[in-house]
Amino acid sequence: MSDAATPRSRASVGPWGWVGRIFLTVMLLFTLLPMVWMLLTSFKSGFAALQFPPQWWPKEPTLASYKKLLDPTSSVGADFLRFFWNSLFVSTMSTILSVIVAVPAAYAFSRFDFPGRKFLFFSVLLRNMFPAVVFLVPLFILMRLLGLMNTHGSLILTYLTFGLPLAIWLLKGFYDNIPYQLEQAARIDGASRFQAFVMIVMPLSVPGIIATAIYSFIGAWNEYIFAYTFINRNDRLTLPIGIQRFFSESSSDFPGLMAASFMMSVPVVVLFLMLQRYFVRALTEGAVKH
Amino acid sequence: MSIRTSDAPAGGAPARAVARGDGVLRRTWIHRADYLYVLPAIVVMLIVIAYPVYYTIDLSFYSTPPSLQLRDKIFIGFDNYKTILESEVFWRVTLNTFIWTIVSTGSAYILGLGCALCLHQAFPGRAVMRAILIIPWVISAVAASYIWKWIYHSNFGVIGAILVELGIMDRQPNFIDNVNTVLASLIVVNVWREFPFAMIMLAAGLQTVPDQLLRAAKVDGAGAWQSFWHVTFPHLRGVSIATILLLAVANFNSFIVTWIMTGGGPSNASHIWITHIYEIAFGRQRWGIAAAYSVILFLIVMSLGYFYVRGLGGAEKEGGGS
Q: Which of residues 174-233 of B touch A (CB under 8 A)?
A: 192, 195-196, 200-201, 203-209, 211, 214-215, 224-225
Nearest CA in chain A to B147: A38
Give the structural domain span for B111.
79-122+195-321
> Among A104-108, A135-139, A230-234, B230-234, which is the least confidently predicted range?
A135-139
Split at pLDDT 50, 70, 90, the class of A10 is very low
User: With an 8 Å Cβ cutoff, is A115 touching chain B?
Assistant: yes
B15 and B118 within one domain: no
> Do B189 and B256 contact (CB within 8 A), yes or no?
no
Split at pLDDT 50, 70, 90, the class of A124 is low
B304 and B235 within one domain: yes
Residues of A in contact with B84 (CB under 8 A): none
pLDDT score of A6? 44
How large is the angle between the packed helices A276-285 and A254-274, nearest 10 degrees?
80
The minimal CB distance from B278 to the residues A133, A142, A280 is found for A133
CA distance A88 to A44: 28
What does the pLDDT look like over B120-163, one tens digit per residue?
Answer: 888 888 888 988 999 999 898 899 999 999 999 888 888 888 88
B42 and B114 within one domain: no
In a domain, B203, yes or no: yes
B204 and B105 within one domain: yes
CA distance A271 to A95: 14
The minimal CB distance from B291 to the residues A32, A107, A137 is found for A137
User: With an 8 Å Cβ cutoff, is B100 touching chain A?
Assistant: no
Give all domains of chain A, ordered by start, each with its CATH number: 15-62 (no CATH), 68-285 (1.10.3720.10)
CB pairs under 8 A between A and B: 356
Higher pLDDT: A91 or B11? It is A91
The minimal CB distance from B11 to the residues A32, A110, A244 is found for A110
Q: Which of residues 222-281 of B touch A (CB under 8 A)?
A: 224-225, 238-239, 242-243, 246, 249, 252-253, 255-256, 259-260, 273-274, 277-278, 281
**Distance between B21 CA and the closest CA of chain A, angstroms:** 12
The number of distinct structural domains making up chain B is: 2
Split at pLDDT 50, 70, 90, the class of B22 is low
B111 and B31 within one domain: no
ipTM of the complex: 0.82
What does the pLDDT look like over B77-88, one tens digit per residue?
Answer: 888 899 889 999
The minimal CB distance from B118 to the residues A23, A240, A243 is found for A23
Give the CATH number of the domain where residue B113 resides. 1.10.3720.10
Per-residue burial over A19-46, b if 16 or more Cβ lie within 10 Å, else e, is: ebeeebeebeebbeebbebbebbbbbee
